[in-house]
């Protein structure tokens, strides 16, 4: 059975956890394919709230095997803390989670260098989560990274660590005037994790393909979002991996023919954390209200998110680079009570209007949005049970998002709970189910 990719269409935090939650009943594997504990997925099941950073949200469903695939970077300390937390809440996390031996490890010097690099950049910093994500991916590309499988081979682990630590310590001492890190201390800490983590070690590519061959269904769960993609996002204000649908293929070891569905998760407005351009950003009372009503504070860092109007230029671009089959629209309820809503349909720059994502970064940095106005709706919509019962203005707004994005809106979320999801197009997630 083919796989489904769940991908963030904006700058992350679109509500991917909720989408996975809704679709998890009909799936067998939920696979994280990139990123690390920079992500934050909030999932509400019944009256329980789970905040996950690294473990795929599939862990919350007994029928699902949660998989951390090759493309992810793993901080073993954080992973153990998360596993222990889930275990304490009655979930068999250690027994069920599978981690690829090829996933790269986030090491203590990665965290330190993330912090120091950001500090050195001063006002030009990227606003990273300081979890060591960028430095870990940089080492992977430089081929000096340590991988999850190395934890279980002390000789290799020490050999690799010794070789790389010489350079890291030179960097720490000569550039940042820091004390060197101690090889023995790191080795003791990391090799100390091995015993507890051994049951998780898995050939995840083999697992994924065996499941597909057996007719099982797989969700590939992205972290961050399209505009934070290293290649296709708003570089350099991006993360260091590929959240786009193509990243799901390389990250999990699949080909394009294994996938038949790419579900875009997008908010009914836009948010961004960290620095970087954001054409529709709001700095007024409307923005304040969106932040407060939407609870727009980061799950991982607690940072206040920047907010702005829905941007159709970005939505169309995201559709192009991902190939969406569906849109799962989230947080429509947050827009209740605004007199007028706006959607940016283009950017104005030096007298020209761009309907598509501009090829040069300067245009995007200085783009002035061209807005279309839509009447808002006054009533609270968070208790509505059928899509047809939404106010006409809300349905018109959803229609406008669909038209502007050029992809069908299948689900509309009007609150954090699972029941607060309206079905707009009745199409089965899994063919025949």
**Min CB(304)–ligand IMP separation in Å:** 12
**Min CB(380)–ligand IMP separation in Å:** 27
Closest CB to ligand IMP among 303 and 355?
303
Q: Within 13 A of 210's CA, how many CA atoms are on the CB side? A: 7
Give CA–CA dist 398/339, Å, rounded. Answer: 16
Residue nearest to ligand IMP (CB): 274
**Min CB(88)–ligand IMP separation in Å:** 24
Burial 114-138 (b: 16+ CB within 10 A, else e): bbbbbeeeeeeebebbbbbbbbbbe
Closest CB to ligand IMP among 75 and 150?
75
Q: Is 424 exposed, middle or buried (0-12, 13-18, 19+ CB in 10 A)?
A: buried
**Min CB(429)–ligand IMP separation in Å:** 24
Using alpha carbons, list the distances in angstroms from residue 341 to 309, 336, 371, 376.
Answer: 8, 10, 10, 6
Using alpha carbons, list the distances in angstroms from residue 176 to 113, 123, 133, 416.
Answer: 9, 18, 19, 44
* 373 tagged catalytic: no
**Min CB(279)–ligand IMP separation in Å:** 16
Beta bridge mates, 45: 48
Give CA–CA dist 286/284, Å, rounded. Answer: 5
Q: Which residues bind ligand IMP (CB under 6 A)?
A: 11-13, 38-40, 126-129, 131, 133-134, 223-224, 228, 237, 239-240, 273-274
Closest CB to ligand IMP among 223 and 332?
223
CB 416 within 8 A of CB 42: yes
Q: Which of 41, 110, 217, 258 is catalytic?
A: 41
CB 201 within 8 A of CB 148: yes
Residue-wise DSSP of 28-75: SEEEE-SB-TT--EEEEETTEEEEESSS-GGGGSTT-EEEE-TTBEE-
Closest CB to ligand IMP among 237 and 338?
237
| Tokens linked to 296 | 């727009």
Closest CB to ligand IMP among 224 and 405?
224
> How do 352-354 and 340-349 pair as beta strands?
antiparallel
* 41 tagged catalytic: yes
**Min CB(177)–ligand IMP separation in Å:** 23
Q: What is the DSSP letter of 179?
A: P
Q: Which of 13, 28, 139, 229 is catalytic?
A: 13
Closest CB to ligand IMP among 282 and 398?
282
| Active-site amino acid positions | 13, 41
């Amino acid at each position: 059975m083919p796989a489904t990719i769940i991908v963030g269409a904006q700058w992350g935090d679109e509500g991917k956890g909720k989408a996975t939650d809704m679709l998890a009943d009909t799936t067998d594997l939920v696979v994280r394919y990139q990123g690390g504990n920079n992500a934050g997925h909030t999932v509400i099941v019944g009256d329980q709230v789970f905040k996950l950073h690294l473990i795929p949200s599939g862990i919350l469903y007994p029928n699902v095997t949660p998989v951390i695939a090759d493309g992810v970077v793993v901080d073993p300390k954080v992973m153990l803390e998360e596993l222990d937390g889930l275990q304490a809440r009655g979930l068999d996390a250690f027994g069920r989670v599978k981690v690829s031996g090829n996933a790269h490890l986030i090491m203590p010097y990665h965290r330190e260098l993330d912090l120091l690099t950001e500090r050195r950049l001063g006002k030009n910093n990227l606003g990273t989560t300081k979890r060591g994500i960028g430095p870990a991916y940089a080492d992977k590309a430089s081929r000096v990274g340590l991988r999850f499988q190395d934890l279980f081979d002390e000789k290799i682990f020490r050999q690799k660590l010794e070789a790389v630590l010489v350079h890291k310590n030179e960097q720490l001492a000569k550039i940042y005037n820091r004390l060197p890190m101690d090889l023995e201390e790191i080795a003791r800490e990391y090799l100390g994790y091995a015993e507890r983590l051994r049951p998780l070690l898995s050939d995840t590519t083999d697992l994924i393909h065996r499941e597909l061959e057996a007719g099982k269904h797989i969700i590939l769960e992205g972290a961050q979002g399209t505009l934070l993609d290293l290649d296709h996002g708003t570089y350099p204000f991006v993360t260091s991996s590929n959240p786009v649908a193509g990243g799901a293929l390389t990250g999990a070891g699949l080909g394009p023919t294994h996938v038949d569905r790419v579900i875009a998760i997008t908010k009914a407005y836009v948010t961004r954390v960290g620095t970087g351009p954001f054409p529709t950003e709001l700095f007024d009372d409307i923005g304040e209200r969106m932040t407060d009503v939407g609870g727009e504070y980061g799950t991982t860092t607690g940072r206040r998110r920047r907010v702005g109007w829905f941007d159709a230029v970005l939505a169309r671009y995201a559709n192009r680079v991902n190939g969406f089959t569906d849109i799962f629209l989230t947080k429509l309820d947050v827009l209740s009570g605004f007199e007028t809503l706006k959607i940016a349909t283009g950017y104005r720059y030096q007298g020209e209007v761009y309907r598509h994502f501009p090829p040069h970064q300067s245009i995007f940095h200085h783009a002035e949005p061209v807005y279309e106005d839509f009447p808002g709706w006054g009533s609270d919509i968070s208790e509505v049970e059928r899509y047809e019962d939404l106010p006409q203005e809300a349905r018109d707004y959803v229609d406008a998002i669909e038209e502007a994005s050029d992809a069908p809106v299948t689900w509309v979320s009007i609150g954090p709970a699972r029941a607060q999801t309206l079905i707009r197009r009745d199409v089965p997630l899994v063919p025949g189910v």
